[in-house]
Structure 1
Amino acid sequence: MIASVSGTVGRIGLDHLVVEVGGVGMLVHTTPATAAAQRHGADARLSTSLVVREDSLTLYGFADEQERVVFDLVQTVSGVGPRLALAMLAVLSPEDLRRAIATEHIATLTKVPGIGKKGAERLVLELRDKIGAPSGAATTTPAPADAAAGWRAPVTEALLGLGWNAKQAESALDTVQAGLGPDPDVAVALKSALRELGR
């Protein structure tokens, strides 16, 4: 089990990083917010979870240990794989996820693309006694990415990757754009769009 990765960020994608560790570039799948918080050439340390399949070894990385714990835990539920678990953490913080499950708030859970009412009910049923009570009320805001021209394209691509269609993504961006300014950070824009889509 690879519990963490520390090294220099060699490449940043919308939902992944390449971290250089001892001369080896390790591909680490992350949430868009975690990827956007990194800087090329900077040092990074991520808690990780290695998912072993018959034909692949896939490494998932997280900003902190709480995200990793929740990622592993939600996969104990029938029908939840690593991609859906990562989508949950892209939309909800660990605290928000704990709160939704502990309070049986189905509407919050169904904000995640790929989780319908039955899936949300199954999460509550199987995890409410395991996931623990939320410790705080606030959701932490990820460090913003460098502002870049054409911010809408990467944010739209990230939303499509999380399961929304192009029309939903564009509509959400149109709604939040006025409050973001002319050249917003990608991570901030993505967070605002996710909040709008979750309504």
Structure 2
Amino acid sequence: LTAVPGIGLKSAQRLILELKGKLGKSTGIGESNIKSSPSAFSISGDAVDALVSLGYPQREAVSAVEALLSENKGLTSPELVRLALKNLGRK
């Protein structure tokens, strides 16, 4: 997470602590939207959780991640978060 611009060590640690109890919970992303491996669902869920922890509404975070996944296959969670933050910042 520290590779994401604007996320330092303390912020990354805080995000991990906040997300720790949420991992495995539903994020609102349907499995039909992610046609890759099961790990893609986990990666997108982690990215959505990170965006929600940063204060973005769940619906906005899900839309941003789904849009990125439809355009780019094989992105990691940090890449998804970085690109989503960039796209959400433009709005």
How far 1:61 moved relative to its partner?
7.0
**Scaled by the length of structure 2, what TM-score is found?**
0.54
Label 1:178 to 1:162 Cα distance change in 2 as closer, same or farther (>3 A). Answer: same
Q: How many residues align?
A: 61
Question: Are 2:2 and 1:34 equivalent residues in the alignment?
Answer: yes
* C-alpha distance in 2 between matches for 1:193 and 1:155: 9
Q: Match for residue 85 of structure 2?
A: 194
1:186 partner amino acid: S
Write out per-residue CA displacement over residues 55-83 of structure 1, whole angstroms, 9 at most, x where no aligned residue: xxxxx378xxxxxxxxxxxxxxxxxxxx8
2:43 partner amino acid: W
Write out per-residue CA displacement over residues 7-33 of structure 1, whole angstroms, 9 at most, x where no aligned residue: xxxxxxxxxxxxxxxxxxxxxxxxxx2
In the alignment, structure 1 segments of 5+ residues that lack a partner are 1-32, 37-46, 49-59, 63-82, 84-147
* C-alpha distance in 2 between matches for 1:164 and 1:188: 17
Question: Are 2:17 and 1:155 equivalent residues in the alignment?
Answer: no
**Scaled by the length of structure 1, what TM-score is found?**
0.27
Label 1:169 to 1:61 Cα distance change in 2 as closer, same or farther (>3 A). Answer: closer
Q: Which has the higher strand share?
A: 1
State the 4+ residue runs in structure 1 displaced beyond 3 angstroms: none
**Does the Cα contact within 8 Å between 1:156 and 1:169 map onto a contact in 2?**
yes
State, as a whole percentage, how many aligned pairs show the same letter: 25
Q: What's the RMSD between the two structures over aligned residues? A: 3.0
Label 1:154 to 1:61 Cα distance change in 2 as closer, same or farther (>3 A). Answer: closer
**Does the Cα contact within 8 Å between 1:180 and 1:189 map onto a contact in 2?**
no
Q: Which has the higher contact order (CA 8 A, sep 6+)?
A: 2
Question: Are 2:61 and 1:173 equivalent residues in the alignment?
Answer: no
In the alignment, structure 2 segments of 5+ residues that lack a partner are 15-37
* C-alpha distance in 2 between matches for 1:190 and 1:152: 9
Q: SS where residue 163 of structure 1 aligns?
A: coil
Write out per-residue CA displacement over residues 169-193 of structure 1, whole angstroms, 9 at most, x where no aligned residue: 0111122112321x32111111111
Q: Which has the higher helix share?
A: 2
